[in-house]
Structure 1
Amino acid sequence: MLDLNRTMFYKTEFDILALKGQDALWSVVLKIRGWIADKARRSSYRFPCDNATWTSLKNGTRAKAEGADVEMYSSLHIEEGVYTWACRFAENVDLKDGSAPRQWLTEVGFKGRSLEESTFSLVLSYSDRAGFIGPLQAVPGRSIPKLVDYLLKDDALDCTVSGINVKSGPVEVGSENAQEMLGIIANTDRGIPVVFASPGTLGQPLVDPHELHRALGPNALVCYAMGLQAAEAMNSLLEPLRLACFGGAVRVYATQPRVDEPLDHARHRFVAASAIREHGEDYVVDMLRRALAQDVHFWQSMLRVDDVKHLNRESARERRIAELKRRFQDEALEEMLSTEEATEALKQDNELIKEENNQLREEVHNLRARCQSYEAAFAGASAADGEGRLAEIVRAARRLPPATATETARLAVAAFPDRIDFTERGWDSCGECRTDPSVLWAAIHDMCTILHPLYAGSESVDIAREFNSRSTFSLARGEGRMTRKSPKTMASRKDDYQGRDIFIEPHVKSSTGNQKDPNFVRIYFDWDEASEKLVVGDCGGHLENHSTRSVR
């Protein structure tokens, strides 16, 4: 179960091969021992480092530090000589300076395929004491956990993702290796993103590829071109696939590409050179680290200690059943097996109920905190001017994003009452919206802060191009030619607002067109001249067009 009170700091997963045929798990355990020993020396506490303790930790046990609130526990499952292992290393840090105590939690997973081969995973997260009133400890700058660094620097271990070596630094591309890099980028089985930093007009990348590599580590393969000639050699191969990257832009080639599909190029997002010059290098590096090294969906599926314990329970149950089958060969056996299965089912139901209860408690806690935050924001802003009210509400939304689409829409209208509103149909569509509320808030926020000034301004500008260059979302001013030919389809864009007819053909959209993806966004709207507002008529999904021929 995902701990709703925790903040993701870093995640990674890659394959390990012990080159000399040694025990890969023991190699990882020794690296963890060295990593903890270094932490203990720096923080002036003692943690057991003897072989006996760490042999026990490899086999599944618990160990505590002396002089600090630090603990590690592990679990091991063995099946046909193959190890499955996980551990949790918890550090409780109280700086005694009035800030909230913080727990750092490092979770390591090891899925063995043979004695010397495995998949290694790591998630580093932290949580501050719930309900604490006071300042929080500072969040460290972006970095790769030293445990990961130790593994990548071990010459006895081969570390790969989809067969791609992740131990080396960023790869410089040119005419001599452009074809090889194209093969990596276009490989449909590639399970690691590729980040390409193209050179600007002076022949140098606008974002330091080495800084990108230090921030992302084994979560992405970073490549770059030095000089316009080297970039041309790479782009001459990428251009036919609509995957080229020019002029200092940075492009992220998503995993498992399908270059033979006409719209696949849209999945491979890029950061324009103008955005890099406007916001700076750190903006790009932080954005890519957040997207590629702090993906919470990975946390939900990684191997954890509880998963290994479950494997052990299943193995023990199977052994008990096998023993019963050996000892009893009569009708009583069936009854015993039925009772055993029913008991196990009840145990699993009980575990699910406990997990669900814990999750509901977390949700109640977070909802109360969200309500208190919003109440404080509205109460504190009631006597302030418009700008102060807006800033207070936006800060509250960033601390605790809305939980539903309807809540997101209401918060947006409260924060920007003179910039955005919803028709009755628009409010109804919130109930059908499956977009992640934080993603929906980001899209509406960009509409209010970027798109509204473009519509309301007196200057003549290309609104779509200007918005698309400044937002992570895209603006479509209208539907395609074939869609416009269908009166029935275009009729679905008609709506009314305060007694006035509006036509919600323009829409803000995300790069993904998969409506099951929580990052999917489609917000259909019109500019109302009378109120000078962006009026939303639908945010529930795709409206029917020539391609879909169906509504949601």
Structure 2
Amino acid sequence: MRYWTHFKNGNKLYDAKRKKTFYAESIYRVNPENDKDISWACRIRECQNESGFAPRWWTTEIGFQTMSNGAARLTFVVSYADAMGFIGECLSAPDISVPGIVRNIQSDERFMCEVNDEPLLFEAMELYTGQGLTFKEQIYDKERGIPIILIMSKKDYIDKEKINLPIDPQKMIESVAGNALVYYSNELSFVDEMRYLMDEDYKCTAGMIRYYLPNIDISNPLDANRHRFIHYDEAMEKGEETILRIFRRVVAQDINDYDNLFRYRNCEELIRRDALESRFVQLKKKQEESSQIASTENDGLKSQLEEMKLKKLEFEIENSDLKDELQQAKNDNYGLQSQLDSIQAAYEPLKKGKEAYDLVRQIDEYPKTPKDIPEFFVTVFSDRIDLTEKGWKSLKDCGTAPAVLWEVLFSMVTTLYDCLGKYSNFVEACAKYNEQAPFECVPGNTSTTKKDKTISREYEDYYFENEINIEPHIKSNTGKESDSRFFRIYFANYIDLKTGKRKIIIGSCGGHLTTAGTMHKK
């Protein structure tokens, strides 16, 4: 206890066995002009040693600042670094966790813990039908200073009575606790409610995870790009562990970008400024006294020396003020960088459009054949559509009229592509396409066809060595394959796991692939 009392008033602690595996230091500051304004910070370094692995040094920083009305501001930063120069492996990344001291303070009934005026919680908050309007106001609130993660449910693809969430909300809050609020809903009616209430670019649809940053600005058409989202299918493909680590990194680990945290170095700077200002006052007083009593040349020189010291201190204090301005400039720069990221994200489609425009200018003849038309669309909409090798080969037997093929491909790169981006449920996206297009999008084959392994192999295809399924297809309203208006375009809703970009990949264009029904007719 004696050592702890000594430490908390601004001192150092070492490991008792002198193995140099533990070191702690703290600093304590009382505002000279207000004894109730107290700042304290500590830095604790511990070494984790495991045979055969590089030593890992853990650093825990705790910052404390008193506020008005008996409140205090606490900052916790935990980081680690593996020893440099070690010939061998490094320990694996640590499991996601929340520091025990944070949990202890949050669970202590004597304290009320908040983050940006929002309760500090270690439980995800469930939302119910009827709470949509209140929750929308919370998302758009200009005073909100903490991110919100919203997790929406959706129907299971097979068991329509089952409701799925893309990720466990409790695991999410444990990953980002103290740095974001996590909300979720198991009610599909709440999903519909929010889809109706939210502005188009800020919607969080069924099965989606959306990350709402503070300071939403609906008047800025680029603002929506800041509030990123992950669709249900993407979450399933990446896996829960990957998704949790993504949000952990973005929300809780990139702490060096958060310059508003009160850390050890900030407390050191306050103490240094106090000393400078105290010395400045003393020297100024001494210089004034020297000026009054200076009667000899020596006294005059002393007075000049004191004046020079005074100017030096003024310069140091001014330099300290410039540091504060520099810090503010860094904060502004961080905000500008966020805006730049949004602009770059918005520019990317324009860049693609420019590239497509340049390619279009090189086309010396209007596309007239079933082969020319897909080549045109792959050139102009290279970020939205492509064909597999099998898809290109299928064009040799395509008897669909060029004008019809043009119309259906245009609807796919516009209406269908937009529906796939807006609705995480593929079946729902197809239904929305059917409402807007003069063609029909069929999500997949019948259960009878799926059971036939021989037929199913016909719907297996590859795109850049990635296996895809081309059961979904766009079909014409005429059923006669001899009619030039007839077509079946089989495709896959492909998502690049590296970039997260979506693309429609066509595996067959023109005729009807085999189904249980057509095989029976044959």
TM-score, length basis structure 2: 0.55
Query: Which segment is superposed worse, 170-179 or 71-80?
Result: 170-179
- 1:420-442 Cα offsets, whole Å, 9 max, x none, are xxxxxxxxxxxxxxxxxxxxxxx
Q: Which residue of the other structure, out of 220, 237, 252, is the alignment partner of 1:293?
A: 252
Q: Kindly provide the CA deviation profile for residues 277-309 of structure 1, in whole angstroms up to 9, marking residues without a partner as x.
A: 222222221111111111143365533323322
Match of 1:66 in 2: 16
1:281 and 1:179, CA in 2 relative to 1: closer, same or farther beyond 3 A? same
Q: 1:90 aligns with which of 45, 51, 66?
A: 45
Matched, 1:244 2:203: yes
Q: Structure 1 residues 208-217 or 136-145, which shifts more?
A: 136-145
Amino acid across the alignment from 1:58? K
Query: What is the deviation of 1:94?
Result: 1.9
1:159 to 98, 103, 113: 113
Q: How much does 1:66 deviate?
A: 2.0
Counterpart position of 2:427 = none
The residue that corresponds to 2:176 in the other structure is 216
Q: How does 1:179-218 map to 2 (within 5 A)?
A: 179-201=133-155, 202-218=162-178
Alpha-carbon separation, structure 2, partners of 1:247 and 1:176: 17
Identity %: 26
Does structure 2 retain, via aligned residues, the 8 Å contact 1:161–1:192? yes
Secondary structure in 1 aligned to 2:78? strand
Residue 127 of structure 1 aligns to a residue whose secondary structure is strand
* Aligned amino acid, residue 252 of structure 2: A
Q: 2:40–2:63: 8 Å Cα contact kept in structure 1?
A: yes
Distance 1:347 1:254, change over 3 A: closer
Q: Which structure 2 residue ranges, 5 or more long, are not aligned?
A: 156-161, 292-301, 323-381, 393-408, 422-498, 500-522
Residue 342 of structure 1 aligns with which residue? Answer: 312
Alpha-carbon distance between aligned partners in 2 of 1:324 and 1:86, rounded to the nearest angstrom: 30
**Distance (whole Å) between structure 1 residues aligned to residue 309 and residue 90 of structure 2:** 52
The CA distance in 2 between the partners of 1:298 and 1:85, in whole Å, is: 22
Question: SS where residue 218 of structure 1 aligns?
Answer: coil
Preserved contact between residue 147 and residue 214 of structure 2 (Cα < 8 Å): yes
| Contact residue 284 and residue 310 of structure 2 kept, 8 A | no
Report what 1:268 is aligned to.
227
- Find 2:100's aligned residue among 118, 142, 146: 146
Question: How big is each residue's C-alpha offset from its partner over 1:423-472, in whole Å with a ceiling of 9 and x where there is no partner?
Answer: xxxxxxxxxxxxxxxxxxxxxxxxxxxx8997684347978959x97xxx
Where does the alignment leave 5 or more consecutive residues of structure 1 unmatched? 1-49, 353-450, 470-520, 522-552
1:357-396 equivalent positions in 2, closer than 5 A: none
- Once residues 457 and 248 of structure 1 are traced to their aligned partners in structure 2, the CA distance between those partners, rounded to angstroms, is 29
Letter in 2 for 1:88: R
The 2-side partners of 1:453 and 1:182 are apart by 32
Indicate conservation of the 8 Å contact 1:174/1:233, yes or no. Answer: no
Q: Deviations over 1:120-152 (max 9, x none)?
A: 112111111111111112222111111221122
Q: What corresponds to 1:436 in structure 2?
A: none
Give me the CA root mean square deviation: 3.3
Q: 1:76 corresponds to which residue?
A: 28
Q: Please give the per-residue CA displacement for 1:172-213, whole angstroms capped at 9, x wherever unaligned.
A: 112343222212111112111100100011333121111101
Query: Higher relative CO (CA 8 A, sep ≥ 6), structure 1 or 2?
Result: 1
Residue correspondence of structure 1 range 440-519 to structure 2 within 5 A: 457-458=388-389, 459=391
Question: Which residue identity lines up with residue 215 of structure 2 in the other structure?
Answer: Q
Instruction: For residue 156 of structure 1, give the secondary structure of its aligned residue in structure 2.
Output: coil
Would you say the 8 A contact 2:130–2:190 is kept in 1?
A: no
1:463-505 deviations in Å (ceiling 9; x for gaps) = 8959x97xxxxxxxxxxxxxxxxxxxxxxxxxxxxxxxxxxxx
Tell me how far apart the structure 2 counterparts of residues 454 and 132 of structure 1 sit (CA, whole Å). 49
Matched, 1:55 2:25: no
In the alignment, what sits opposite 1:40? none
Q: What is the deviation of 1:340? A: 4.4
Question: Is 2:189 the counterpart of 1:229?
Answer: yes
AA paired with 1:163?
Answer: D
Asked if 1 retains the 8 angstrom alpha-carbon contact of 2:176 and 2:251, the reply is yes
> Could you tell me whether the CA contact under 8 Å between 1:109 and 1:120 is conserved in 2?
yes
CA distance in 2, matches of 1:453, 1:130: 45
Does the CA contact (< 8 Å) of 1:173 and 1:234 recur in 2?
Answer: no
